[in-house]
Structure 1
Amino acid sequence: MPEPDEQELGPQLADAFQSKAHSIQGRRPASFASEARRRVQQRRHRLTMAAAAVVVVAAIGGVWGAIGGPSPMPTSSSDSAGSAEGHGNKSAPEAPTAIDGCPPQHPILNAPGHEAVPPGTGLDLDTPVFGLQACRYSLVPGNQLLLGTATFTATTARQVVDAIKGLPERNPALPAFKCTAELARPKEAIVLRFDTATGVREVWVGYDGCASAGFFTGTRTYGLYAAPLKLILKDGVRPTSGVYLDHLKGW
């Protein structure tokens, strides 16, 4: 609303009060004129104060708009639910297998060879697996012990199973040896211990000696190839040599 023109309002009020003063008998015109001027001054003061307040409010509003107001609160539960769902979709780090560890005294230490997996302990490669622990053992008589271990997640365990499952029974690229019984016995071997719904199931890996090499489940034999070995031969599980490994490329 436009403000009244104070320059016109003052004289108009003064003239009105002056006319009123002259029309009343027994009163002094000077008194009415003085009263008119006092009321005009009060009116001007009120108008000035009101204008100043508007300016202050406008200035505060401009600063508040520049720095931003408080963040709005969610207005519906769907926002919170969507946020929670978004956090839930984040991929959590996959935990290693829950197997308690490689046993220091394992049946492979006393077995006649790395292919002699005890009945009922081998892994059927169609069985779902949830983790893997690899154990490398020394099989040298008088020095039979655990040499190294490595633990893998369910993803790696499944990759190892898939890499073994498609292998033929023997790798034709590896040589066939004629050797004595003493040389046929491997100096070391690896046991792959898989976590399954029915407990630990194993695959024995032979890569030394001169009688046989491959992945053994007790019921089936898979040839020794580099693809599965590349997934498991890490840290203390990685051999430094082996009769068949010395002829195998890419592991």
Structure 2
Amino acid sequence: MPEHDPEQELGPKITSALHNQAVGQTHPQNTGLAREARRRVHRRRQTWSIAAGAVLVAAAIGGVWSFAGGGASQVASSNSNSSGDSKAEAPNRTQGLAPSNESAVAGCPVDHPILKAPGPDALPPGTGLDVNTPVTGLRACRYGFAEGGTGLLGQESFNAATAQQVVNEIKVLPERNVKLPVFKCAPQVAKPSEAIVLRFDTAAGIREIWVEYDGCQSAGFFTGTHTYGLFSAPLKLFMTGSVRPSGGTYLDALKDW
């Protein structure tokens, strides 16, 4: 499209004056008209330049705002998504977890009845395990009775297969291991320095077997209603990690535990 010429709108007289001046005529009237024509052309061109500049500035500003607006929207959307993702994932990261002290209390009570029991078979009524009951898990808890070392010494968890294997190894044992020595000792040394409580998961709740292997009073697996002799086969399955004793009167005699 041809460019619009503001001079075309000045009228025939002014146009003619411009033409005459261009060819060398110097009539005063023509000269005045030519001057007026140049002034109008100059003003119109100024007006067009200012208008065009304003359009360019407006377009540039609009583009910047559009870019900034789009960027801000994108950033806000990204932040919103990130926040949403964090909130959605947070429960999954922490679900099923519990502080270690709560786990210790739930698995192995710090203040267990064995610490105050008068004897190795003094389980509270209803807490002993019937060895014919299916079990689904096991936590072994090692307790100390010696002065300065009373309380929970260690604990280990075992799956259903190992738990059932421990029970299977215990329930076939006789009431006493005749290969273990019989000690005669003073009452003050008869009490063991430590013992282990086996806490089994069952459909009816936690059921226990107490394991005695130190002192000189008695040794074996106690359910509160029955006693099984101390043999190494079951001991090898759960005496691991923090539950493994450094020794014991009957363990030293047993040798292969």
TM-score, with structure 1 as normaliser:
0.58
Alpha-carbon deviations, 1:154-199, whole Å to 9, x = none? Answer: x55968744522314449xx8803535549x664441517497978
Pairs aligned (count): 222
Which has the larger share of helix? 2
Counting aligned pairs with the same residue, the percent is 18
Q: Contact between 1:156 and 1:231, CA under 8 Å: does it hold in 2?
A: no
Partner residue in 2 for 1:165: 167
- 1:207 pairs, out of 205, 210, 213, with 213
Q: Contact between 1:135 and 1:150, CA under 8 Å: does it hold in 2?
A: yes
Partner residue in 1 for 2:7: 14
Q: Contact between 2:122 and 2:224, CA under 8 Å: does it hold in 1?
A: yes
User: Residues 83 and 32 of structure 1: is their aligned pair in 2 closer, same or farther, counting only changes over 3 Å?
Assistant: same
Return the letter of the residue paired with 2:144. Answer: R
SS at match of 2:197: strand
- 2:33 pairs, out of 29, 33, 53, with 29
SS at match of 2:75: coil
* RMSD of aligned residue pairs (Cα, Å): 5.0
User: Residues 209 and 134 of structure 1: is their aligned pair in 2 closer, same or farther, counting only changes over 3 Å?
Assistant: closer
SS at match of 1:122: coil
User: Residues 34 and 246 of structure 1: is their aligned pair in 2 closer, same or farther, counting only changes over 3 Å?
Assistant: farther
- 1:101 pairs, out of 111, 116, 124, with 111
- 2:90 pairs, out of 87, 90, 111, with 87
- 1:71 pairs, out of 76, 81, 89, with 76
Aligned-partner Cα distance in 2 for 1:135–1:157: 21
TM-score, with structure 2 as normaliser:
0.57
Q: Contact between 1:122 and 1:217, CA under 8 Å: does it hold in 2?
A: yes
Q: Contact between 2:195 and 2:211, CA under 8 Å: does it hold in 1?
A: yes
Unaligned runs of 5+ in 1: none
| Within-5 A mapping of 1:168-179 | 168=170, 169-170=172-173, 176-179=179-182
